[in-house]
Chain A
Amino acid sequence: MKYFNEKAECMDRKSLKELQSGRLVKLVDYVYKNVPVYREKMRAAGVEPSDIRTIGDIVKLPFTTKQDLRDGYPFGMFASPRSDIVRVHASSGTTGKLTVVGYTKRDVDDWAECCARSLVCAGADKNSIVHVAYGYGLFTGGLGMHYGAEKLGAMAVPASGGNTARQILLLKDFQSDIICCTPSYALYIADEMEKMGVDKSQINLKAGLFGAEPWSDNMRIEIENRLGLKAYDIYGLSEISGPGVATDCVCQDGKHIFEDLFYPEIVDKETLEPKPYGEEGELVFTTLNKQGMPLIRYRTRDICSLTDEPCKCGRTHVRMNRVFGRTDDMLIIRGVNVFPSQIESVLMNNDRAVAPHYHITVDRVNMQDVMEIKVEVNENSFSDEVKRMEELQRKLEHDLFTAIGINAAVRLVSPNTIPRSEGKAKRVTDLRKI
């Protein structure tokens, strides 16, 4: 099986443009009627739905940001009546407020198709056993790939995250041929296999779809060697649907963006002016076929470039290269989005026990992301008893876990030792070599 949907994935560029134009015209009319925020935004920009006739007119439309989603929390950006929404997912936002996304039945189906296409990109077919080790829950990774596997007619193994010994047992006993997880977890599985004395010849993985965090070609080589599979990069974000917005094909030379459903643009990160293919800038998406929560020109904050050069695999959709940065301060730690401001609000909420100064260090130890947060002890919290200081440390760690969903080590440091800087403080040191 070469393609899941050959008609859509290999459509000639001219027909694709026509399809995109038709979908954009309908979409703009739809959101103008159903989402007050878009009506206001378009009026403010002096654009009427009738001004949008082809996909090229998209540049006339205003952008959408994560802030818009946050302002509308929880359901303000939904375009469908609540009764038509069959699913929500959510990711963390900058202030602890979640970014909520709603899906209609058709949206879930389109998304499942994207994940099915991605699985076929990696060589899966209906005979495959797909081991899904992304978390199942509000995070889109697990359920997204699960529905994709079912859509394809493959056998989904909903392993979810954690309990690595059991994951390895399943991989060995079921002889799954496809795995989906974060790239760092793939390497962690390889480590654990070594410890348990399980050789890669005892498992049967042919390919893996790895995403939800940035990774490098070196990491790809390491995963491929240690697990004996082909490692494919899968890209997505919950705002747009979830995993499967774009995926590597067998050529492993850039991820095809499923352009019949998501229209990508690259814009200058300062001026927001559109940039041609080949140039680097912020990636912006318009969802062409969504009902529940369609987004127009959504700024992903991810920096990359696009190419429309024909690909040997036969797919005509443009490819994006690796994301090599962000235009905001969001960190991705073990696949979880973390904003420094979330950490700040935890520290501020602790009865002034620590100073509102902090420094985050992120590193990768044994292929796992680790985060340490330095906070300054002050007179309000300093005690002559070690026990009390350790309690403070543990309380902060607990509160941080509650707020951001991942474990961070808190290190207490002396007052006035975290550098203050004029203007924007440098809060983060990222030592990960990706």
Chain B
Amino acid sequence: MITQIAVFLENKKGRLGDMSKVLCDAGIDLTALTIADTKEFGIVRLIARDNERVLRALKDNGYAVTKTRLLAVEVADVPGGLYGVLKLLGDGGIEIEYLYSFARTGLKKAVILFKVDLPEKAEEILKSNAIGLIDEL
């Protein structure tokens, strides 16, 4: 499992820039960042190495933040890599709240991060099918 930090931002000009500056000033190196947005607000989801430092920097600057544990798997960066994992979870009755992924081009691997409704069960299914779960990026 990987720790993700989510941040509430209003969907307004300059808000993402302001948040990035806070992270930059705190010397934070981001591994991944994605945004789920609606007309009115966005939820920034980010992954960094030093979670405590990220949390402190954001909280000190008045942001609403929350820590979430995500399932993370590493699969071969080939067609069908994502599908294989999704099919296993779907057949197991697991619902996916959201996911995002990125490729590690040099390693020919792809990393997929999931938020699911039943994390323990999902973990079991993936393990029994020899899918490579990872605990750090």
Contacts and interface: CB of A to CB of B under 8 A. Distances in A.
A and B bind: yes
Interface of A: 377-379, 382-387, 389-390, 411-417
B97 A414 contact: no
23 contacts: A377-B8, A378-B64, A379-B65, A382-B6, A383-B6, A383-B66, A384-B4, A384-B66, A386-B38, A387-B97, A389-B38, A389-B41, A389-B43, A411-B40, A412-B10, A412-B41, A413-B10, A413-B41, A414-B10, A414-B15, A414-B62, A414-B64, A415-B63
Contacts of B43: 383-386, 389
B115 interface: yes
Nearest to A385: B97
B102 interface: no
The 6 A-B pairs with the shortest beta carbon distances in the complex, nearest first, are: A384-B6, A382-B64, A416-B62, A384-B68, A377-B64, A377-B8
Interface string B82-124: 0000000000000001100000000000000001000000000
Contacts of A387: 97
B21 to A, nearest CB: 15
Interface of B: 4, 6, 8-10, 15, 36, 38, 40-41, 43, 45, 62-66, 68, 97-98, 115
B97 to A, nearest CB: 6
A408 to B, nearest CB: 14
Contacts of B15: 414
A412 B40 contact: yes
Centre residue among B6, B41, B62, B64 by max chain A CB count within 10 A: B64
Centre residue among A379, A384, A387, A389 by max chain B CB count within 10 A: A384
B10 A385 contact: no
Contact of B36 (A386, A412, A413, A414): A386
B8 A414 contact: yes
A411 B43 CA distance: 14
A74 to B, nearest CB: 40
B109 to A, nearest CB: 25
A412 B68 CA distance: 21
A385 B115 contact: yes
A389 B97 CA distance: 13
B65 A382 contact: yes
A50 B24 CA distance: 80
B4 A379 contact: no
Contacts of A379: 64-66
A385 B116 CA distance: 11
A419 to B, nearest CB: 14
Nearest to A387: B97
Nearest to A382: B64
Contacts of A415: 8, 62-64
A384 B62 contact: no
A378 B65 CA distance: 8
Nearest to A386: B36
Nearest to A380: B64
Contacts of B38: 386, 389-390
B66 A414 contact: no
